[in-house]
Structure formats: C-alpha cells, structure tokens
Amino acid sequence: MILEALSPIKGDYHLQNYEETYQNFRWEEAEKNFSWYQSGKVNMGYEAVDRHAEGFRKNKVALYYRSNDRLEKYTFKELKEWSNKVGNVFKEYGVKKGDRLFVFMPRSPELYFAILGGVKIGAIVGPLFEAFMEGAVRDRLLDSGAEYLVTTPELLQRVPEKDLPDLKTIFIVGKDVQEKEKYVDFNKRVEKASKNLDIVWVDREDGLILHYTSGSTGKPKGVLHIHNAMIQQYMTAKWVLDLKEEDIYWCTADPGWVTGTSYGIFGPWLVGATNVVIGGRFSPENWYKALEDFGVTVWYSAPTAFRMLMGAGDEIVNRYDLTSLRHILSVGEPLNPEVIRWGMKVFGLRIHDTWWMTETGAHIVCNYPSMEIRPGSMGKPIPGVEVAIVDNQGKELPPYQMGNLAIKKGWPSMMRQIWNNPEKYASYFLPNGWYISGDSAYMDEDGYFWFQGRIDDVILTSGERVGPFEVESKLVEHPAVAEAGIIGKPDPIRGEIIKAFISLRDGYEPSEQLKEEIQAFVKKGLAAHAAPREIEFLDKLPKTRSGKIMRRVLKSWELGLPTGDLSMMED
Ligand code: PRX
C-alpha cells in the first residue's frame, strides 16, 4: 500500500518556499559566499575549514569521532591545524597541484586530515573504500596514475606496488612505521610539521576529488570533481540537509563513496556544522547509541541501513533517547514507502529521499522539509537545476511517460572528466545539452519525479553500485569458470543482491563447495560487497550473435518474466 502524501513540516527552514525559490534562484547569488568572488581564486579546504577557524566558529566542534577504541573531538581551529600539518608533510614529499593522491584507510580523524590536507595543496584526492582488495586497488591507482598514497600497515598488504610504476611515496598511518624507500611514517612527520600552511589557491575549475564508480561496461571510471562543486554542496547543505548553526550532523557514508565526501565532508563543513564520524561496523545498537550519545539532530543514511534497523525491531529503538533528531534523509536506492511509514512510527519524523549520483557531485532531486512528501517519489529538482524525462533523442516527455531521467548540462557540481577517457565523458551528454543519468523515471503532473530503475545493468546492492562487468571479469579469472553473467536480484533488505550465472570449463562439475570457492575468490580479489551471494551453474549462457552475454535474458529467467525480443540471441 502506498502512503498518503505527508504534509510539509511547519518550521523555520533554509528553503521556506520551494516553488518561489525554484523560480527565482540564480547560482550567481550563491557564488558571493566564497573567496573567489573577491580574489578570483579559491580552495575548498579554506572554505570548508579555515574560514570558520578564523571566525566566530573557531572553538566550535567540527568533528566528533568514535570507534571501538577512540573517542575524540576537534574544533574548527584544530581541524585547520591538523590539515595544515598534513598538507605540509605532503608538500615536503613533493605533492603538487593536480597530482593524484589516494587515501586507502578506515574512517579515522587521520583520513579526514589527509583528505583536507591534500585538497589544501591542490592535489586531486582519490578516496578508496577500505574493503577493496588487491585487484580493485590496482585498477584505480593505475588508471589515475596516482603518485601518492596514504594507507595503514594492514591495508598496505593489498597494494600491489610492483604493478604500480607511478606510485612514488606511501604515507603509512600506524605505530612504529619503518621508513624505507617509498615508505613514510605519517604520524611522525605530521607531528613535527608546522601548523601554518601556505594554502595553494586554485581556480574554480581545478580538480578536487576523483571517485571511481561502476558502469555496465568496462572497468570502474574515474569521475573528476572540481572545487566549483562547493557552490552546490553549500546550497544543498542548507536547502536539503537544512543544516543550521546548532546542528549535530551524522552522515553514515564512508568517504570512499561520493556521499561520504560531498555530504560527509564538504557540504556540512562549508556551512560550519558539527560532523559526527563513527568508525567500525554497522550494528543497530551502535547506531542508535551514536544518535543518542552525540545528540544527532540531522541524520543522512541509506535505505539499506534503514531496512536493517527496521528488521532489528522497534523494541531496540525504544531503548534509546532519540529526541534530538529533527531531520532524516536517505540516498542511494529507492526509499520504500514502507520505510517511511516505519520512520514515522519510531522517530515521529518523515524520512526525506534524495536522488543524485557520483557523476552529479551533489543533490539533484530531493524532498525538502517545507514541501509535501509523496512516499515513493524522489521529490523535485533543487533550485538552479533543470531536470526532465527525455527520450533517447533528448525530446522532453509529458508527465507519467517513462524515459531517461536527464539533467540540463552545466550544474555547478557536475563531473568535469572521466579520467583518461574523454570519449566516455562525451557519451553522457546528448547534443542538445541533456546529461543522461542511466536511470529511468517519470514525472507526475505536479513535477514530482518517480524512480523506475536503471536502464543499464548496474546493480545497486546495499546502496553500493556494482558494475557487472568488473565482477564477471573477476569470475572468469577463476580456473573453473568459463563464462559468467551477473544480475541484480531483488532483495528485501539489500535492495538487490548479486546473482551469478556461470558456465564451467571442461573437467569441472557443479558443487556447493565450488560455489563457496568462487565466492571467496571474488571477495578476496575484488571486494566482499561485489561477491555474488547466489550462484547458478548453466551449461551455456544466453549470448548475442556478437558474443555479448544477455544479462537482460538472465534477469527475466530469474524473475519469471517474458524474455522480450530474442532476435539478437545466438542459436
Ligand atoms: O540508480 C540511482 C541510484 O544510485 C545511482 C547512483 O549511485 P552512486 O553514484 O553510487 O551514488 C549514490 C549516492 C549519490 C543512481 O543512478 N540512486 C541514488 N539515489 C537514489 C537512487 N535510486 C532511487 N532513489 C534514490 N534516492
């Protein structure tokens, strides 16, 4: 059952009147908030941290960090000093503007200092999930030509140094690090470094951050964002997250994912809010306890996490005092009306869905506190951005007709490159200026957008985007696997799970043990979240005449749906 529309919440919000703001807003107004308006130059690190450290927020807590064995807090002044120190260390080892500096480590204060330190000296920072295994790390460092890496002794084991000729220096965050050849003791060097840094002023269009993300074909692609993204991240931190001076904000995403940088670092700090970062693994108790202990007021998470909390039962929620919460948001996959209903029951609050993607760099279609929510809808475009449903030629479609969810090129936080791949970059845009998102959706007569699915075969599992090609390539590296096809299979908790259809090489027989071995192989070679939870052995996979595996057909078989046009299928 679909919920009734949920009325706007009365209150004092940054975005008080959506329609009026949408009509009148121009990005030029927002630009006046930043230094380039006066000097022509800018730096995200300055705008997000130093500006507050020099002003009335200097002793305000910028970061609370908690993990199993650490509990720390840093004011804006301290955050400025720590990131300055790190920036100085990077400089000392030769990091220059435009160099790719990757960070591959668990969430910790040092991770945030490293990202900010790199940004302050103009480096392009590439954050990697700590869950990545050797193959995934290799692909990303190689493609980006990364020269610098910050990691921990444990994760260093997964860095295939011999395959990475460009990698010059590895900063190791840990105790008693032995400095030799490429290895630098991060903590020791940072401790000694100066608190004062000559920040590197850059142009708005200079590179800031490089996120690798999956498509349906080929290896993951490096999506480059630039300092200019700050305008949109700043405005949406106000309009959508509705962050105010007194807010304690918790974004549960890791910086390995765009949500963890755009809204785990930049957005909230651009507006001077207090950020909560929790290390370690998910557990309902830990999460509710974090909300309670830090008095979180604004909470940004994902449907998969909400569904897991929902599955843990309401009895647990009731053990915690969550009255500090005032605004909850979700991103990454469709937000089920069921989850919104649960949120109303246990938190007494509407969960606000937000739609965007790595390539957009910031929010695009959202629900706002002052606006009616239609459960199941992603909401309406943010002011300053034009969104439509278009056909494959870029012709706008009328309400209720399904098509490509498209964005008019030129929004401030738009990706500016696919690293090393200008043709791929160009392929996202139609000649008449529409960026094609890869999602299908429709718009209702009041301008609300409704997500329908991915047009390509990208899988959304537990909020993470998995490219079928990358997993298939890994699978066929296993000696038993002849061919593999990957699909997303609907799952009540994870959104989708990865299912692999595999044909075996001669001499191998299907067995449970072989399934487990293949799963472990992908876990070890790529990442745990990329490993197929289900495997089915087939004699032969459905293929086109040109030899492409027809994932669409596998999916219809799996779901018991009609297979559609099979004219392209080989005999
Ligand atoms: O298919 C859409 C889905 O996630 C894709 C983008 O994934 P990623 O680049 O990893 O970034 C996610 C967070 C910024 C989209 O193309 N997606 C994201 N948000 C939603 C969503 N699907 C439905 N509803 C959403 N709110």
ipTM of the complex model: 0.99
How far is the C-alpha of 556 from the C-alpha of 535, rounded, in Å? Answer: 16
What pLDDT was estimated at residue 177? 96
How far is ligand 1, taken at its centre, from the CA of residue 357, in Å?
5
How far is ligand 1, taken at its centre, from the CA of residue 334, in Å?
8
How far is the C-alpha of 558 from the C-alpha of 499, rounded, in Å? Answer: 9
In the predicted model, residues of the chain with pLDDT beneath 70 are: 1-3, 216, 545-547, 565, 567-568, 570-571
Can you say whether residue 453 is alpha, beta or left, with left for phi > 0 and alpha for psi between -120 and 50 degrees? left
Whether residue 357 has its Cβ less than 6 Å from ligand 1: yes
Using alpha carbons, select from 552, 538, 551, 545 the residue that is nearest to residue 569: 545
How far is the C-alpha of 100 from the C-alpha of 345, rounded, in Å? Answer: 46
DSSP state, residue 155: H
Residue 104 CB coordination number (10 Å): 25
Ligand 1 atom closest to residue 454's alpha carbon, by position in its atom list: 1
Each residue's pLDDT tens digit, 20-56: 999 999 999 998 889 887 788 999 999 999 999 999 9
Q: Alpha helices of 404-465 — where are they, by DSSP H? A: 422-427
What pLDDT was estimated at residue 1? 41
What pLDDT was estimated at residue 545? 67
Pocket test for ligand 1, best of 451, 454, 459, 461 (most atoms within 8 A of CB): 451
What pLDDT was estimated at residue 91? 98
Annotate 499-562 with three-state secondary structure: EEEEEECCCCCCCHHHHHHHHHHHHHHCCHHHCCCEEEECCCCCEECCCCECHHHHHHHHHCCC
What pLDDT was estimated at residue 568? 64
Which tokens belong to 74? 């840093």
Whether residue 263 has its Cβ less than 6 Å from ligand 1: no
How far is the C-alpha of 459 from the C-alpha of 558, rounded, in Å? Answer: 15
8 Å CB contact between 64 and 73: yes
DSSP state, residue 105: S
Residue 203 CB coordination number (10 Å): 13
Instruction: Give one DSSP letter per residue of 297-318, joined into a string.
Output: -EEEE-HHHHHHHHHH-HHHHT
What pLDDT was estimated at residue 571? 59
Ligand 1 atom closest to residue 330's alpha carbon, by position in its atom list: 26
Whether residue 439 has its Cβ less than 6 Å from ligand 1: yes
Whether residue 258 has its Cβ less than 6 Å from ligand 1: yes
How far is the C-alpha of 302 from the C-alpha of 463, rounded, in Å? Answer: 7
How far is the C-alpha of 363 from the C-alpha of 5, rounded, in Å? Answer: 22
How far is the C-alpha of 180 from the C-alpha of 301, rounded, in Å? Answer: 41
Specify the residue with its C-alpha closest to ligand 1, atom 22: 333
